[in-house]
Amino acid sequence: MTILTPQESTLSDSAIVGLAEAALADIARVRESVGRVIFGQESVVEQTVIAILGGGHALLVGVPGLAKTKLVDTLGVAMGLDARRIQFTPDLMPSDIIGTEVMDQDETGRRSFRYVKGPVFAQLLMADEINRASPRTQSALLQAMQEYHVTVAGERYDLPAPFHVLATQNPLEQEGTYPLPEAQLDRFLMQVDVHYPDLASERRILLETGGSEDHAEPVLGAERLREIQMLVRRMPVPDSVVDAILNLVRSARPGSGHKEADTHIAWGPGPRASQSLMTCVRARALYEGRLAPSIDDVMALAEPILQHRMALNFAARAEGMSVRDVIAALKRDVA
């Protein structure tokens, strides 16, 4: 038995299979195009692409120099999206992101206001070092991420479709930063941890430094990406996967009766985490060339989807535990 919404049920199984097979080929070409430029970060590329296929935003967390900016640029080219970058600084104002009104004067001397759009009007926006901006500026971006429009002088301006934010954050340097509020963290479909490359990948980086650099080739376009995103939400999900998602997310909440959660978690993920898992397991199945998600997809995506939606209590932090340790324990019990 599978779970389908009324909109999803309008397509027959054979129609979904046909659309999925075409999407598999396109996604494979995207992976190949990105792989020419980015190597040694397979899990990072996978999770970031899954976030985009799921129609959401991603928070890339890692030390400087791990090709986070290059990844966003490469994805913009491979997916055929209008990509822009904003370097967040403490003096960045909301108008620097969403735009502002300027006064024009025509040849008759008549004056009027004209809205000049900011860099947020992009299909793929890189918010570099997002935690360096003030809460006032972060709240302006929050509206764009959640509502997909901005409001200037009482007027609503819709953002391009699709619209994705890939934000970066340095986990080491926290002096002079403004930690993202929980409400904004929850708007990120997943948190992608960017680690150091392995030995073989770093050797390849050294050997190719200064040589002829490969470039990504455009594979998709905005309209094709939207078609795949709609397909992701139509894919059937087995009951066993739905149950695994519910068990995992609900067990991560204190008071749920799970010993690990009751002992170490101060607050846990809400229903948006369940929705995110439901979407991303479908996208991961397509990314790996499969037509249906499995429980393995739930386990693989548990950490990037849950870790920024949970907080440890004082006792857990005093013991030196991390959110990843708790999620690993929850996964063992659900599996």
What would the DSSP string read from start to end of 257-315? S-HHHHHHEEE---HHHHHHHHHHHHHHHHHTT-SS--HHHHHHHHHHHHGGG-EE-HH
Residues of the chain with pLDDT under 50: 1-9
**Alpha-carbon distances, residue 106 vs 109, 117, 172, 298 (angstroms):** 5, 20, 52, 59
Write the pLDDT tens digit of every residue in 190-236. 999 998 888 888 888 888 776 656 788 888 889 999 999 999 988 88
Please report the pLDDT score of residue 100 as a whole number.
Answer: 86
Whether the CB-CB separation of 194 and 66 falls below 8 Å is answered with yes
Please report the pLDDT score of residue 211 as a whole number.
Answer: 60
Please report the pLDDT score of residue 213 as a whole number.
Answer: 67
Please report the pLDDT score of residue 13 as a whole number.
Answer: 67
Please report the pLDDT score of residue 10 as a whole number.
Answer: 53
In whole angstroms, what is the distance from residue 73 CA to residue 77 CA?
6
Nearest CA to 167 out of 148, 189, 150 is that of: 189
DSSP class of residue 210 equals T
Please report the pLDDT score of residue 46 as a whole number.
Answer: 92
Question: Which residues lie across from 115 on neighbouring strands?
Answer: 101
One DSSP character per residue, 55-67 reads: T-EEEEE--TTSS
Please report the pLDDT score of residue 303 as a whole number.
Answer: 94
